[in-house]
Every structure is written in structure tokens, then in C-alpha cells.
Amino acid sequence: MITFVWAEDQKHQIGIDGHLPWKLPADLHHFKKITYGHPIIMGRKTFVSLPHLLPGRKHVVLTTSLTLKNKYRNNNQVSIIKSVKELQDWIKEHKQQNLCVIGGNSVFNALKNQVDRLEKTEIIATFKADVTMTKINYDDFIVVKKEFHQPDNVNLYPYKFLTYMRKEK
């Protein structure tokens, strides 16, 4: 199963300068709960934006960077994949697992016709950003879970956790 995991604001924006435009600890906790124990698939920019390797997750990075390939050559927590074709082959070999795609746009775009589940955090606010989420045809999906949360003293914005499953064809 392929699952997209991301957060966006009301304008579908997801990033600025290689980082999230907001601080929302509840979303980070939700992200960990969904991805822990599963491979996380991402592009180079998303990978280098992480503060460190995330425990309990295999990092699958789509990049042609020889520097990253050499740096993580002997690290079995990281797989460097050099092309979309190679990524498709890797996915076929691991399709029995829940594969979590966490960004960026080029990876979301490459896999949007294969994604089975969407795990979206919708932040009820608008932020300054320079990256917008890939367009997804929500007509192909059904909402199976929705949680609304009010702001509190740690999470300053209202937000929703939404889970969508692809409709049967």
C-alpha cells in the first residue's frame, strides 16, 4: 500500500525554504504515529530538511546525488534511488508493506496515480510558502476518518486530520 503523508494550509501550501511554514507539534506526533515502522519515501530536498534520520523508519531517497549515495553507502537505514523507474521497481519489491511517501512534490507527482491512502493534515490558516501540494483528484477517494482539533497553548492553529482511501475501480 502506498500512503501519502503531508500537512498543508488552506491554500494547499506545504513548504518554504525547505522547511514547514508552521510549528504544529500535534501534526509531528501524528506523522510519527503513521510512519513509524514503515519505509518513508522522499526526494533529496525533503531528506536534507530532516533534522536527523528518523528512528524506526527506512529512508528511501530519490536523488542523483553522488554525495548522498557515498555518505549513506553503508547505512542500511537509507536507500538511495537514482530514478523514478528504479523507485517503481523498489516499490514493486516492497508492495506488501505500507510505504509512506512524505514529499516533495516531484515524488508525490510521480506516484499520485498509484497512491492508495492519503493522510492529510489540513491546517486552518494560511502561511507564507514557496511550495504547493501536487494536485490530487479527490473524486478518486473517499474520506474514511476525520478529526477536527481546536488550537491550544501548544498547537496555535485549528487543524484536521483526514484519512482518504482510494475508491475501488
Answer yes or no: is pLDDT of 120 > 90: yes
Answer yes or no: is pLDDT of 169 > 80: no
CATH of the domain at 126: 3.40.430.10
Q: What is the mean pLDDT of the chain?
A: 96
Answer yes or no: is pLDDT of 157 > 80: yes
Q: Distance (Å, rounded) from C-alpha 169 to C-alpha 159?
A: 31
**For residue 87, with 0-12 CB atoms within 10 Å meaning exposed, 13-18 middle and 19 or more buried, which class applies?**
buried
CB neighbours (10 Å) of residue 122?
18
The residues, any chain, with a CB within 8 Å of residue 43's CB and separated by 6 or more, are 61, 62, 63, 103, 104, 106, 107
pLDDT the model gives residue 38: 98
Domain that holds residue 93: 2-166
pLDDT the model gives residue 163: 98
Three-state SS sequence of 12-71: CEEEECCECCCCCHHHHHHHHHHHCCCCEEEEHHHHHHCCCCCCCCCEEEECCCHHHHHH
Residue-wise pLDDT tens digits, 14-50: 999 989 999 999 999 999 999 999 999 999 999 999 9
Report the domain count for the chain.
1
**Percent of the chain predicted with pLDDT > 90:** 96
Residue-wise pLDDT tens digits, 46-93: 999 999 999 999 999 999 999 999 999 999 999 999 999 999 999 999
Answer yes or no: is pLDDT of 95 > 90: no
Answer yes or no: is pLDDT of 168 > 90: no
Over its C-alpha atoms, the chain yields an Rg (Å, rounded) of 16
